[in-house]
Amino acid sequence: MKSRRSINSLFAGALLLGLSAHAIPARAAPSEIESAAIDAYVYGYPLVTMELTRRNFTNVAAPNGKSAPMGTFVNVPKYPAASDKRVTAPNADTLYSTAWIDVGKEPYILHVPDEHGRFYLMPMLSGWTDVFADPGTRTTGTASADFAITGPGWHGTLPPGIKAEYKSPTNMVWVLGRTYSTGTPDDYKAVNAIQAQYKLTPLSAWGHPYTPPRGVVHPAWNTKLPVREQVESMDGTAYFRLLGELMKTNPPAAADAPMVATLAKIGLVPGQDFDPAKLSPAQTAAIQAAPRPAQASIMGLLNEVKLTNGWSVLVNGMGVYGTNYRLRALVTAIGLGANRPQDAIYPVGAVDAGGKPFDGANRYVMHFAPGQLPPVDGFWSLTMYDDKYFFVPNRLDRYTVSARNALKKNADGSVDLYLQANSPGAAKESNWLPTTKSGKFIPMLRLYWPKETAPSILDGTWKPPPIEKVGAP
């Protein structure tokens, strides 16, 4: 684990310029402090969200099918239910195998079995949500392999047979595994057998019999309220206190030096406790006022993205965000755990072909010209969400539509997908994606392992077709 001194040394240049917790704020105008508090909130949103998500997933003594202790995989045996509100924008294409680890003390070894050609992906996220490694079908193939996940301060020798070392920039790591499943009972069984072989072992136990220890249950941790609601209901003081604590072991990147200076304007210094008692009245007021405008700024980015046929298509910067803090926060809010674009792209439907928001009171059609279904080397799907990015309950328990639905083609080879609350008729139900009965809904495409040669969404030579309103139900 990094010491407080070594963490602070990452920002020695900024601190030597006088960016202490109290130097700049005394000279800053109130509007500048208010702006700094909002920027700091946006910057810290992913790390705070990751921590509360970690608590939600690990606050158990033993794996229970939904949660598991630190260092242990929880394997979800089926697609998430519509009632599951723990993670925004869940998918119904893959079965999750997720684990949270702390690599501050020692590395972990991830074992994956032979997937026999099945698509899988084991992205590893830092505490700031950047994907620092993405072993899987695209990058490392589907043969059995062992991968080492090492912490930012670790230096040592790995045992023979390790396929690759992945160094995390933070002590907190989320392994957000996904294994493709068609959703049938037989395929669930096949994938569950693969999931049972995903293992994480501390380096000190490698090569020896190892049983993960029981987890520690923290009664005060809230595991019922959705994480996003927990984050956004925190007042400014509580939010920045937690952010300060988290940055001791999950420090900002070197490129974040200008933001570190901004943090100092509200008394927040990486590696040090955040002490509200030492703040000026202006700082205190700015911190308490920051959450609402910061949250509006995060979600407001959706309205600033240039639309393509009514779709928000984010490619550049996804998964590895650099200093694009608003994008990182937005993805955290609506799709925590997003992959690198080479692994998956998630176009979000913003408006219909007429430029109007989607409403469940209407019927819509998404038309793919012959040969123009999404070009992928993995798989694709269209998922339906309500206005909070959760599944829309329906009588079919169908939350996605994709090629595995045995889509029916039109006479000319084109394909129509029907987005509406009520069935379009038995002959068209294979192509039907149920929507909300009224009010806003959000369609999202998933393109796993998009093709890199034209036509490709990666270079813009393929674009999602518009969704057209065709009438009332």
Tens digits of residue pLDDT in 393-409: 999 999 999 999 999 99
Do 148 and 189 share a structural domain? yes
CA–CA distance, 334 with 88 (Å, rounded to integer)? 6
The neighbouring-strand residues paired with 165 are: 148
How confident is the model at residue 314, as a pLDDT? Answer: 84
Out of 303-317, 381-395, 445-459, least confident range:
303-317
Answer yes or no: is 82 within a domain.
yes
Q: How far apart are CA 56 and CA 85, in angstroms?
A: 11
How confident is the model over 152-170, as a mean pLDDT? 96
For the cut 60, the answer to whether the pLDDT of residue 12 exceeds it is no
Any domain includes 212 = no
Q: Which domain holds residue 268?
A: 4-51+224-301
In a domain, 332, yes or no: yes
Inter-residue contact 283 to 233 (CB < 8 Å)? no
User: pLDDT tens, 230-288?
Assistant: 999 999 999 999 999 999 999 999 999 999 999 999 999 999 999 999 999 999 999 99
Residue 194 pLDDT: 98
Please indicate, yes or no, whether residues 323 and 404 belong to a single structural domain of this protein: yes
Cβ atoms < 10 Å from Cβ of 62: 11
Q: Tell whether 217 is covered by a domain.
A: no
Amino acid code (one letter) for 436: T
Q: What is the mean pLDDT of residues 100-120?
A: 97
Element (H, E) at 292: helix 291-300
- pLDDT tens for residues 345-356? 999 999 999 999
Q: Domain containing 261 — which CATH number?
A: 1.10.3360.10
Structure confidence at residue 89 (pLDDT): 85
Based on the domain organization, do 353 and 467 belong to the same domain?
A: yes
Phi and psi for 258 in degrees, rounded to 5? -60, -35
The structural domain count of the chain equals: 3
Owner of token pair 């994938």: 191
The pLDDT assigned to 27 comes to: 44
In one letter, which amino acid is 432?
W
- Residue 245's alpha-carbon distances to 48, 51, 265, 273, 472, in angstroms, are 10, 11, 17, 6, 52
Query: What local confidence, expressed as pLDDT, does residue 5 receive?
Result: 28
C-alpha closest to that of 153 among 102, 209, 208? 102
Give 187-243 pLDDT, tens digit per residue.
999 999 999 999 999 999 999 999 999 999 999 999 889 899 999 999 999 999 999
CATH classification at residue 90: 2.60.40.1610
Q: Which of 350, 365, 330 is nearest to 440 (CA)?
A: 350
pLDDT single digits (tens) 357-372: 999 999 999 999 999 9
Assess whether 423 and 314 both reside in one domain: yes
Same domain for 109 and 34: no
Q: Please write the tens of the pLDDT for every residue from 16-61.
A: 222 333 333 444 445 899 999 999 999 999 999 999 999 999 999 9
CATH number of the domain bearing residue 355: 2.60.120.600
Contact residues for 36 (Cβ-Cβ < 8 A; gap 6+): 28, 262, 263, 265, 266, 286
Predicted confidence (pLDDT) at residue 419 exceeds the cutoff of 90: yes
Cα distance between residue 290 and residue 317, in whole Å? 26
Asked whether residue 450 falls in the same domain as residue 315, the answer is yes
pLDDT of residue 330: 93
Mean pLDDT of 9-20: 27
Q: Which of 243, 270, 301 lies at the terminal end of a domain, its last residue? A: 301
Average pLDDT (146-162) is 96
pLDDT at 172: 98
Does 7 score more than 50 pLDDT? no
Q: Indicate the SS3 state at residue 159.
A: coil
Q: What does the pLDDT average to over 84-110?
A: 92
pLDDT the model gives residue 149: 98
Residue 462 lies in a domain: yes
Q: Give strand ranges (E) for 387-426.
A: 400-401, 415-420
Residues 326 and 463 in one domain: yes
Q: Residues 181, 254: one domain?
A: no
State the pLDDT confidence band at 473, using cuts at 50, 70 and 90.
low
- Greater pLDDT, 207 or 11: 207
Averaged pLDDT of the chain: 91
- Whole-model pTM? 0.86
| Res. 3: pLDDT tops 50 | no
Is residue 8 predicted with pLDDT exceeding 90?
no
What is the structure's pLDDT at 258? 98
- Tell me: do 402 and 381 sit in the same domain: yes
For residue 293, what are the CA distances in angstroms to 38, 234, 290? Answer: 7, 14, 6
DSSP string, 34-74: HHHHHHHHHHHHHHHHHHHHHHHHH-SSS--SS---TTS-E
Alpha helices, DSSP H only, in 111-250?
Answer: 137-140, 185-195, 227-233, 236-246
**Does 153 have pLDDT greater than 80?**
yes
Q: Among the three residues 142, 173, 205, which one is the final residue of a domain in this structure? A: 205
In this predicted model, what pLDDT tens digit does every residue of 287-326 receive, in sequence order? 999 999 999 999 999 888 899 999 999 888 899 999 999 9
Tell me if 214 is assigned to some domain. Answer: no
**Same-domain status, 325 and 464:** yes
Give the pLDDT confidence of 177-191 residue by residue, as tens digits: 999 999 999 999 999
The pLDDT of residue 25 is: 40
The C-alpha atoms of residue 122 and residue 335 are separated, in whole angstroms, by 17
Tell me: do 188 and 95 sit in the same domain.
Answer: yes
Query: Pick from 205, 240, 273: which residue ends a domain?
Result: 205
Q: Same structural domain for residues 147 and 22? A: no
Q: Is residue 211 part of a domain?
A: no
| pLDDT at residue 472, as a whole number | 80
Task: Kindly state whether residue 311 falls inside one of the protein's structural domains.
Answer: yes
